Structure 1
């Protein structure tokens, strides 16, 4: 949350060659304005000051910038004439934030146009509207928005879907904010499901459409195995793997494959997230390293890096 009190001083030359100054102020009444999910009002003070010795002929207007960048003109532009030293001030006008307004950061801007010089002076402050759980795009956003009540089932709404849906969130492991996207099985074929809500739904993965909402937006993947062996992988590196970039479907046997020379899967210069032979495995031998950090005692070392293979099950999360 950030609150800006911006006071801009603009020197303008008039036809008399005298200097005149206009100062614009817009300040929220609260130090950290936060609007509830149900909506509310933000009170603020605003002032336009003539600190010079000449009459100023001005025009002022205010704008509200929504979280998605859209602009909303709160009122029509109005003319204003200020004599030397005069102040135009309004105490506690209100911004009404309706329940249907999107969550996120808003910016209020008060702009003043000098009709003689053509210059614009402005001031602004920001406030936030809280996210409801289903407005968060991922478990990481739920955690960041202060809506976490611990690991469990939550509703999210990624940008690529029309309606919220439920997911399982791990809010504790390695910083929390992990969205469960699949549980790969060593022996069973993977099945796509609309809802993956339990750590016991083995051999289930989310649908390709839902996976598409995370594939390029998530930054990290957490891979955990039966014996508490785990690793955090870099999603950008997985998506740019030279042999097999990160799969569009989590039902694929090979989810990602990079190799230093060729793409044969031989010679211990490869990196795999699951291979055709070992469907619950991570190898990180190539010059292109998938792993950011690893945990547990289940890692071997071969080639030019670590590996873990042949787990009974492997849980995949992203954040």
Structure 2
């Protein structure tokens, strides 16, 4: 059973988010995901606004670049969102794009060490714990949140390489995969996550969110090809263009490979972002098996 969502691309001006989020909410779409790409829009500011403008839509921020964000501040912001909008905020962290981290003066020598320390600290703080740690990058002295979430607040992580994917299984509560992963890549990624979980002695479900390149309507084939070229995504069978049935088939293929949520990613030049989220909710959603209810949502 598969959760379906869509991406609000940060190439759109921030003021456009309100109409897209409201269109998604009104159409019954389950999730809207926002990115924190440098140097476009703030992931958490946008997430907060989208949640406030909607009633039932779940809103994800991912990936938040760990090098740019002190973990105590991220915990404070995440806890605030989880308390104000219970069950609707989703946050995922990652290494950040390394050239961008260099531009911002935040690049670290060992992104893997930082992400491991960051995930452990963030999960502890959001669980209501008090933490003193003197790591290579994460240093906290007797830190605890005065207002931790009142319900479990999963911390997701994303990445591309085998070591990072094992780490997401080891230290995160779920994994986000970008649109460069075809179905075979999702299977391999899930196997790596399972290795990390086994090494850490973790059991239970590990949700996997996968972005899917999608283009529909006039010029879809040209726009999709150009988008994949811009992003350097050239794996065979990657992305889908066409009508709702074609998109639903691609969603089903990713779900069979291990995706628990598939997030439709429009091209950066999508001519009708509001129409795209309505297309996802009203035309693709009925063709995709619905997920089982999640307690508390």
TM-score between both structures, scaled by the size of structure 1: 0.20
Higher relative contact order (CA 8 A, sep 6+): 2
Bigger CA radius of gyration: 1
Higher helix share: 2
